[in-house]
Amino acid sequence: MRPELPEARNQACEPDRECSYCPRLVAFREANRSQAPDWFNAPVPSFGPAEARLLIVGLAPGLKGANRTGRPFTGDFAGDLLYATLSAYGFAKGTYASRADDGLTLVDCRITNAVRCVPPENKPTPIEIKTCRPFLDASLAAAGSLIAIVALGRIAHDSVVQSLGRKRSELPFAHGREHDLLDYGAHGVTLFDSYHCSRYNTNTGVLTAEMFHSVFARARAKLDAL
Ligand code: URA
């Protein structure tokens, strides 16, 4: 049976536009609103069908990507690789054009972030990650068909592990690792780890497109096997 996540019971899956839990992120949001009033500049909502079997968890919106466009991974380098990969494995339909109104739809796949507001320098603090976790708890609790999770980077991985009520020491992050959580939901859930698809990781060769594809190929195979 799906374990009850106590904090998730009455918790919304998405923060309000004016969420005020993290003072530093609120101040950054206000500064961005003044500087770029046409940008989205608010907690970025999850994207994709609620009944998706695959959930992708990123770190946090990029300043000029999701924070500008209002859709996770949309408008920055990380999104170019992510959406191309999702299309290649049948998780996206339509043409990705780096904007929230490009008509792209996700198929059996949903994307969320461990931290929903853009952090300065792409670096949320430990307390911001923890403060935002109830939204991830609620998102996982609401994902009734969940079978596979792809965590993009260690922070996303650790947040997912804690949202699932497990210890980080029990399920350490490693690129390419699969963690089978057999006691979760009707079919269990497999957590797939990947390095984050950031420009930095791809430019430095930490993550190649082939390495990234192979994670999604395994997630695809997992879903197709059921
Ligand atoms: N954009 C997001 O929405 N999340 C990330 O982790 C990176 C870019």
* Residues 63, 118 contacting (CB under 8 angstroms): yes
In three-state secondary structure terms, 140 is helix
Which pLDDT score, from 0 to 100, does residue 2 have?
44
Residue-wise pLDDT for 119-141, tens only, equals: 999 999 999 999 999 999 999 99
Residue 15: partners with Cβ closer than 8 Å, 6 or more residues away: 21, 43, 116, 117, 132, 135
Domains of the chain by range and CATH? 35-224 (3.40.470.10)
Residue labelled with tokens 């005020």: 20
Per-residue pLDDT band at 186 (split at 50, 70, 90): confident
* Residue 60 CA to ligand 1 centre (angstroms): 5
Using CA atoms, how far apart are residues 215 and 48, in angstroms rounded to an integer? 19
* Residue 90 CA to ligand 1 centre (angstroms): 20
**Residue 122 CA, closest ligand 1 atom number:** 7
In three-state secondary structure terms, 93 is strand
- Taking residues 25-53, what's their average pLDDT? 98
- Taking residues 205-215, what's their average pLDDT? 98
The ligand 1 site (C-beta within 6 Å) comprises: 44, 58-62, 65-66, 72-73, 76, 78, 113, 152
Nearest to 11 by CA among 127, 134, 103, 97: 134
* Residue 100 CA to ligand 1 centre (angstroms): 14
* Residue 168 CA to ligand 1 centre (angstroms): 22
Distance of CA 107 to the CA centre of its chain: 15
Per-residue pLDDT band at 9 (split at 50, 70, 90): low
* Residue 73 CA to ligand 1 centre (angstroms): 5
Nearest to 98 by CA among 85, 112, 84: 84
DSSP E strands, 72-223: 92-93, 105-106, 109-113, 148-152, 178-181, 189-194
Which pLDDT score, from 0 to 100, does residue 1 have?
41
**Which mutation among 59, 83, 128 tests ligand 1's pocket best, with the greatest number of atoms within 8 A of CB?**
59
Phi, psi of 78 (to 5 degrees): -55, -35
